[in-house]
Chains A and B, each alone.
Chain A
Amino acid sequence: MRERVRFALEGAQGLERCSQQFRTFPAKMQEFNEVNLLLVHASPESSGVPISDRDERLRLSIHERERLSRQGWLELYAPSSRDLIELAQSLGRPHATRAGGSIIDRLVPTERQQARPGTMSYHLGFEEFPFHTDGAYLRIPPRFILLRLADGADSLRPTLVCPFSSLSLSNGESETLTRDVWVVRGSRRPFLSPILSDSTVHGHTLLRFDLFCMKPASRRSEQSAQILESALKKANPVEVIWTPNQALVLDNWRTLHARGEGPLDRNEGRILERVSVRSGG
């Protein structure tokens, strides 16, 4: 038990070490599979999260899984950060978005001048964020994004959700999104990708869209951004109004999201917790 707590406290790196240790001691493998190890990182913002030692984890219900499978997003109840991580674990492998970072990101509205380069806040500050998918700069972006209004936070700004399947696109337009190539920057090496790729992950069509890290590889490729932006203007996105203990799950390979408009200034406490989840299935 002490070992489990220590690994849990060490977060993502701890899990890796934990996994390595079980490789050294295979007899522990079954225990590793059995325990409900929480990926809680002991960063200052999440150090108050208790370590779970219970047998039953919070899991998505069948109906919630059906809804997520069908519509590509899901609103649900998650009264704590721990619940958010447990839910994430029922979808795949939660991971830190930055090396050595926390499993839980805290998204705080930030002025342009104070924002980290490469982030949307760096370009837009307190403004609305356009529709995008998260982690578009990664060769394989996270499959799921879980968001939750942080304890004590408050937000008058909604998050807008738009499943790709809800967009009115002709076959020809979808084909253009699959064909036109973009240069994706932001990771170690730039790479080429269409907005809609059916070759990145076998058996899946993957949506990638973030104009802050993607540039058309040729003039022709600009057409695909126009197609998508035009469809998004006509779309009727779902408006998620943030309330305490509310969480949102996005299938990031087929759903776009955006920060909506509203009275936002530096004094507003809009803090969202975010967990990114890898999943190949």
Chain B
Amino acid sequence: MTIACLGWGSLIWDPRDLPTRGIWFPDGPLLPIEFARESDDGRMTLVLVPETAPLVRSLWTLLSVGDLGLAREALRRRECVLSKNAEVQIGQWERGQAGERVGAARRIERWGVSLDLDAVIWTNLSPKFHEQDSVPSSEEVVGHLNALAYEKRKNAERYIRMAPRQIDTNYRRAIERELGWTPLSEM
């Protein structure tokens, strides 16, 4: 079974124990991705957002495990997703799987079929800001990042600058313009 894992954030430069085959390809599906999830340490991380956001080209890698359950479990562990939330927070498409998909899942399905993949998994965390399940505005994100204390701000800056260049979102442009956090990534 050929399984791909999609990526757009730290999974790419820091996959840890995720069993990848080593190369992240830049021609993943176009997806609505934005710096719209506030992590526990204050960083604004990249997540899928509703289809209103502009689409950006995601990245993907082949996994070295051939079992979908193992692949999902590996991604769950890497993303520190609680087991009870894995059903929702680890996304999956599998060839032949029944059900009508919409939005990002539909885009992923079309892409997976076009590449002749057997399955695709991805991190499906939702937007979150100040403990609310909502999508912050770019002004709120810039203001939040700018107000972080030194250490947290350094971490937050590193995350944004390490994000692959092709994850060229509106918020990233605003952050770059207002805070000067330009891309560091080679990709």
Residues of A within 8 A of B (CB): 23, 26, 29-30, 33-34, 57, 59-62, 65-66, 68-70, 89-93, 140, 143, 201-203, 251, 278-281
Contacts and interface: CB of A to CB of B under 8 A. Distances in A.
B14 A65 contact: no
Nearest to A29: B54
A73 to B, nearest CB: 12
Given A61-B116, A62-B116, A62-B117, A92 B26 contact: yes
Given A30-B54, A33-B56, A62-B117, A89 B186 contact: no
Contacts of A23: 173
Nearest to B176: A23
A280 B186 contact: yes
A69 B186 contact: no
Nearest to A201: B186
**Interface SS of B by simple majority:** loop
Interface stretch (B16-24, B38-46, B90-98, B147-155): B16-24
Given A62-B116, A66-B62, A280-B185, 5 more contacts: A33-B55, A68-B23, A91-B25, A93-B165, A281-B164
A93 B165 CA distance: 10
B62 A143 contact: no
A62 B117 CA distance: 7
Interface of B: 2, 7, 12-15, 21-27, 30, 54-57, 59, 61-62, 115-117, 162, 164-165, 168, 170, 173, 185-187
A31 to B, nearest CB: 10
B13 A280 contact: yes
Contacts of A143: 186
A203 B13 contact: yes
8 contacts: A26-B173, A69-B21, A89-B27, A91-B25, A280-B186, A280-B187, A281-B7, A281-B23
B62 to A, nearest CB: 6
B173 A30 contact: no
Nearest to B7: A281
A87 B13 CA distance: 23
